[in-house]
Chain A
Amino acid sequence: MKTSNTVWKERLEGKLPEQLAREIDIFETEIDLRRQGKVDEKVFAETRLRRGVYGQRYDNGQRHDGKKTQTLPYPEAEVKGPGTVWDAPGMQRIKIPYGGLDPHQLEVLGEVAEEYSDGIAHVTTRQDFQLHFVHIDNTPTVMRRLASVGITTREACGNSVRNVTACPFSGVCSDEAFDVTPYARALAMFLLGHPDTQDFGRKFKPTFSGCRHHACGLVNMHDLGCVAVTRQVDGEVRRGFELYVGGGLGAVPHQAKLFDEFLAPEELLPIAQAISRVFARLGEKKNRARARIKFLVKDLGIEKFRELVLEEREKLPHDPRWTAYLDEVDAHVEQGRRPPGELPAVDGDREYSRWLETNVRDQKQAGYVTVAVTLPLGDITADQLRELADIVRKYTSDTIRTTVEQNFVMRWVSKADVRDVYRDLVAAGLGDPGHGTIVDIVACPGTDTCKLGISSSRGLAAELRARLVEKSFSMDETIRGLHIKVSGCFNSCGQHHICDLGFYGVSRTVKGYKVPHFQVVVGGQWEENAGSYGLSVMAVPSKHIPEVVDRLADRYLREKENGEVFKDFVQRIGKVEVKQMLQDLTEMPDHDADPERYTDWGDPREYSIGDIGTGECAGEVVSLVEFGLTSAERMVFEAQVTLDAGRPDAAGEGAYRSMVEAAKALVKTEFLDVGDDDGRIVDEFRTRFYDTKKFWDTYAGGKFAHYLFAQQKRQGQNHTHESAHHAIEEAQLFIEAAHSCYNRMRG
């Protein structure tokens, strides 16, 4: 859509990390091929999801406007996935491993937000960013501009390893065993695009915590969770990880199971790789609702799962990357930019005092603090990102992280500068107090932009926030410390299971009308790495939820015993009692008496569930072979383009490589570790597919395989235009034959 897309491509040519640049070029080619109908829509959907290019609500071209369902007549007839219209605005998810950012990255995030999105960058509950209302034609440019500052969107969505999160206080927390940052970084880089992570049936979410007891990385709810621990071994303090697997929220949350009490850092990457292999091999792929690793761990039991993983570990070919990063671990040392100091006097400034109480925390390094930047619903403008970049540059050594509570944490702020930091944050509109308190409400995008949203999580969160901010500082400290999280549906992207008061969207029919409701979830625990999951008590109309919060908070304050935490209070009074005290809130007036109660927060339309679509969170299950053959097709297309550009040698080479790619895709169905050496691939292909006649055409026999063998023999020889042309034709036929072979294999 943007006329400058080609300008940016030229401008950034040669300036991006080579691997990132190549991936983006590939994606751009795939976009072109999809528009020409040359890539299957299901394959393209998973391809774009693995670049973080997501759908949004109404991208099936239908939208209920409050009176009727409108068909949105977009100009482009093509689709970008099953039932997703090409031109419909989408979401771009951006991965930020362990939430770590520098000021230049903040600035570029602001630029792309205001040029390609709605001017807002949204921090997610997994330390990522999301940009909404982005046109798919602009996404390669967004990716290039982000890549120019070292940010990737690869595998931000889809059936892949998602962002590796980590406690935002890693390295500065006095309770941590050690700084998990370099390990989180190493795992993120190692698993990104790893061949063993390309065949999952569902997403895979890893995290790191520096300690057991704080909320930290929320290990218990992750697919792979690492808690930093130390142990005395032969008189030496050794670092290790308590490793957990099989946690997850979703509709039915599972607590992670202990895989290893003390995993040495040398084993972190290979064990993660082995777990990936087992998940890829044995994880469910047909039934998407049971495809997360938590179900595999549950079905096998942790003992059997561990056994399989350790067996797989033994078979892994050695990879020097497993331990190469360990040499750099101790080189990863953050420092303050300015000298340590003492906190200036508060001087009766009430607003500053409030902010200090909630947003500032001592670091373990004397004289320094962390400063939390509270974002309303995780949203920040482009201007604010620029101003924040300036503040980070001025006061820190570029040390800022996103958090899973949809905020930022600046690290290494000298205590002496805290007052000035506050002043500068306030000037930027970023000085809100209340971090980690009842007003710091977490909410997923919900019905604002998500296809799966049932009720408006952000609408409710905004309303609760506005009401609670008013009274928060006169609240008892106990109430102020409660956590509220809101999800738009049962899929728990708002993490409603792990807080004091959780809500997730549901729909009910009342007096003949559909009415947005929220399930009230109590009994969850944020601390202890998401220590326990709440359960829903009852559904209450959306417009009555603020009263639910007031009643529960008031009663807790009146009746809590001796430092009793909220979840224990609920346990003591019992869910029956909770339900009884809220029961009257389930009643609704007649529609005509109060029609506004039948609408959702921030949305005046007559409420409907007609806009709920097919979510893309589950991606599309596309086999490794399909990916490989699609890759081969792209390569042979590129060979054509190269030939048209007058480069027959490169074109001929490209044609050969595309055949090798297709052959590799088939070989990997029998021999996963065939590697990338083309000689080996062709040999294995010959043995497993040609000699066995699996790769055999009814009429042409083994002819198409001979194209591959012949091209391999002529490697190193020059091509003429004609010979390259032939090579391309033969490659196309070979790839078609590979498709046929695969179809026969599938039966």
Chain B
Amino acid sequence: MAIQHVRMKIPIAWRENPDPGAFIRVFHSWIQEQLFDELLIDVADYRHVPDGPVVLLIAHEADYGVDCTKGDLGFYYERKKAVEGGDAACLAQALRALLAASERLETETEIRKRLEIDRSRIDLRICDRALAPNTPETFAALEPTLRTFFDEALGGRVEITHTSAPEPRELFGVRITVSGGYVVGDVMGRLPG
């Protein structure tokens, strides 16, 4: 079972004065600079949708965004275009992109000091039901690969839970938690490629 079309999300929280509109301004500025490897295209505003996507940065190969599905506010990266090189390469690509963008987010004037990023947890979904049906079998098949990758990348023994298990109709999703959290720079140094 090959891993593709991965979405990784890290929790964020407002320390004060929540301002989802700030993400709109920031994402537009990222497009101006074409900040990342992906071709950044547009910003989609869904602040009016409860417990759903908040603001998306649409790119050709992937989307970045802030999402509040099930009330869980987070910053995410979702890969649309396939990544070559196998499962580890796919996971590494997504994690690298997400962490780099999250670091950039933390430095943005609009957001700096107002936003807290939880560096102890990553939620992963595979956005393709044909490749990864949301079943215990998929979890059993993928858990070893995920464990090997995240143990190495996050620098510690991670806990992986099949979070989408209660609802088979959802996309396959797991939560990866690492006790004590991770340091972005260290993770980037350990990622393959």
Contact = CB atoms under 8 A, between A and B. Distances in A.
A462 interface: yes
B48 A604 contact: no
Interface string A426-459: 0001000000000000000000100000000011
Interface string B32-52: 101000010111111111111
Contacts of A120: 46, 49, 52-53
Nearest to B83: A3
A67 B131 CA distance: 41
Contact of B39 (A72, A380, A381, A383): A72
Interface in A369-417: 376-377, 379-381, 383-384, 386
B42 A58 contact: yes
A74 B171 contact: no
A72 B41 contact: yes
A119 interface: yes
A132 B131 contact: no
Contacts of A429: 50-52
Nearest to A87: B60
A7 B31 contact: no
B58 interface: yes
B63 A118 contact: yes
B28 A605 contact: yes
A118 B41 CA distance: 13
Contacts of B128: 2-4, 115
A742 B46 CA distance: 50
Interface string B124-157: 0001111100000000000000000000000000
A605 B45 CA distance: 14
B82 A118 contact: no
A114 interface: yes
Interface residues of B, number: 43
A67 B5 contact: no
Interface string A535-570: 000000000000000000000000000000000000
B169 interface: yes
Contacts of A66: 28, 32
Interface string A116-157: 001110000000000011010000000000000000000000
A218 B81 CA distance: 43
B63 to A, nearest CB: 7
A465 interface: yes
A384 B70 CA distance: 10
Interface in B51-71: 51-53, 56, 58, 60, 63, 67, 69-70
A132 B70 contact: no
A1 interface: yes
Contacts of A73: 39
B177 interface: no
A620 interface: no
A420 interface: no
A620 to B, nearest CB: 25
B25 interface: yes
B52 A65 contact: no
A509 B41 CA distance: 27
Nearest to A385: B169
B175 interface: no
A107 B169 CA distance: 8
B24 interface: yes
Q: Which has the most chain A C-beta neighbours within 10 Å: B4, B58, B67?
A: B58
B80 A135 contact: yes
B129 to A, nearest CB: 6
Nearest to B39: A72
Contacts of B52: 119-120, 379, 381, 383-384, 429
Contacts of A4: 128-131
A37 interface: no
Contact of B45 (A89, A383, A602): A602
Given A3-B82, A135-B80, A381-B53, A63 B41 contact: yes
A671 interface: no
A350 interface: no
Given A65-B28, A65-B32, A133-B58, A3 B4 contact: yes
Contacts of A11: 130
A107 B51 CA distance: 18
Contact of B131 (A7, A114, A602): A7
B129 A462 contact: no
A379 B130 contact: no
Contacts of B63: 118, 133
A67 B81 contact: no
Contacts of A459: 45
A119 B49 CA distance: 11
Interface in B78-99: 80-82
Contact of B169 (A3, A88, A384, A386): A386
Interface in B8-36: 21, 24-25, 28, 31-32, 34
A2 B69 contact: no
Contacts of B50: 376, 429
Contacts of A513: none
A381 B51 contact: yes
B130 A377 contact: no
A604 B25 CA distance: 6
A377 B127 contact: no
Given A111-B129, A381-B53, A1 B24 contact: no
Contacts of B34: 70
A473 interface: no
A107 B4 CA distance: 23
A3 B46 contact: no
B49 A133 contact: no
Interface string A79-106: 0000000011100000000000000000
Contacts of A605: 28
Contacts of B70: 383
B44 A118 contact: yes
Contact of A114 (B4, B42, B46, B127): B127
Contacts of A110: 169
Given A58-B41, A74-B60, A114 B171 contact: yes
A719 to B, nearest CB: 37
Contacts of A114: 127, 171
Nearest to A88: B41
B33 to A, nearest CB: 9
A4 B52 CA distance: 25
Interface in A594-637: 602-605
A65 B39 CA distance: 13
A3 B131 contact: yes
B2 to A, nearest CB: 8
Q: Which has the most chain B C-beta neighbours within 10 Å: A57, A65, A132?
A: A65
Contacts of B53: 118-120, 381
Nearest to B65: A118
Given A3-B4, A65-B28, A133 B130 contact: no
A415 B165 CA distance: 34
A111 B82 CA distance: 19
Contacts of B43: 603
Interface of A: 1-4, 7-8, 11, 57-58, 63, 65-67, 70, 72-75, 87-89, 107, 110-111, 114-115, 118-120, 132-133, 135, 376-377, 379-381, 383-384, 386, 429, 448, 458-459, 462, 465-466, 602-605
29 contacts: A2-B128, A3-B4, A58-B42, A65-B28, A65-B31, A65-B32, A66-B32, A67-B32, A72-B41, A72-B60, A73-B39, A74-B60, A107-B169, A115-B127, A118-B44, A118-B58, A119-B53, A120-B49, A376-B50, A377-B48, A381-B49, A381-B52, A381-B69, A386-B169, A448-B44, A448-B45, A603-B24, A603-B43, A604-B28
Given A70-B34, A115-B171, A429-B52, 17 more contacts: A1-B82, A2-B128, A65-B31, A118-B46, A120-B46, A120-B53, A133-B63, A379-B52, A380-B49, A381-B49, A381-B51, A381-B52, A383-B51, A383-B70, A602-B21, A602-B47, A604-B24
Closest 8 A/B residue pairs (Cβ) = A4-B130, A429-B50, A381-B52, A376-B48, A7-B130, A65-B32, A604-B25, A602-B45
